[in-house]
Structure 1
């Protein structure tokens, strides 16, 4: 339950959403309320959302779910259409109450982005890149972001597809070409420059930095610190993705660590560190 209007397409961890129109302590309370729906001749469908907090003995089986859908549908004035409805409604039980409203299902856009023309063995996974963009810019309105180590554009693609105003930069001209090609493949466009973060003079609300790491990069600790110092210079917030332990370096660069989480794939672990 949230007062924040987040479309499920934004997150790889959200599958569906109900925009709550009515709630009640029992299904009859819902039946009475849905009678007020005005469809003006449009068709509809009701979906029982399986996610709930019912204990095992109280779980609602498949047949009963269909009964609940039909009962609600009988109280809505309009024509039901299970195949191509104009409106899709959802019903869910949570915390001992029932909630009914517009049902929105994620299109899982990020899954399409896994199939890029150019790939890079050490690039972030699409899911992690999308999560990092969400963490960095939870509300895109009026925010400007930069990815100064953009590689083949994995973060750029996820951010752009969510409406985030972001630019990219990398010191490697080969991967820059890959980033431009990958973005174009999905019909996306952003300013992407081959160059060092030291050359950036503009200010940004947030920097998303997938730190070059020692297993695959010749980046020295001095170069890592320089990257963080320049990120602090150009952005008031940073989301740093690193395989190394950089807490002391991050603090020495002038950032305060606000939050962190860990993303693990097999034996390989990355930290996602939120700094301000």
Structure 2
């Protein structure tokens, strides 16, 4: 199986090993996430977090801004107001939980890290807030650098590539160089499935996922219940768990270090089974 050179993350002084792939559970604190099952009311968040941690999640990814096409725009203040109470509630019950925050706004990133978040997961790769790179590098937390073009509202009209995989690699490389120049230590790459990419392009990207190993950085893959699965199978997002498992299995064999998922137990089982391939 493909190997990643960098196999650890420093999360607030705690060294997290990626020698074996890990799972990040999704906690969407939004009323309009594309998958209804992940729209979690505040009062149930701690309960869901407890189950995800018990099922084996290494990280909990808290998001207060829906990036699905057509989702309503909200202010940084409203976004922070959604996620900060969740971070505080989870850490009060589970002080050792490692919380990732799904945000593209530097101000929200700073507030959440100050409240105890351990990772910033930026779907825009720093393109939607010019202060993000300097902010996250000053906060000294791992940063997920995802590939996207445009904004959540315009990204699906920006899917023209000369060579998909090469173009995504080149665009990530530019951002990666900027981050490294600022002294950012831990960087996780995310090729951005579904963001400025058609379903066919997502499959092409997955088929050549091992190409991203040239960066020697850990790779996060987020395919959970996405439209690429349910549109291809002509089902709903609620029925897309089996398809998610299939694509996550492929991603693991091609070098993914972190699976970002709605269904933690099933993803953990996928990791355990896929890891058996390394013994042969």
Q: Larger RCO: Structure 1 or Structure 2 (Cα < 8 Å, ≥ 6 residues apart)? A: 2
TM over 0.5: no
Larger Rg: 1
Q: Give the TM-score taking structure 1 as reference length.
A: 0.30
Q: Give the TM-score taking structure 2 as reference length.
A: 0.30
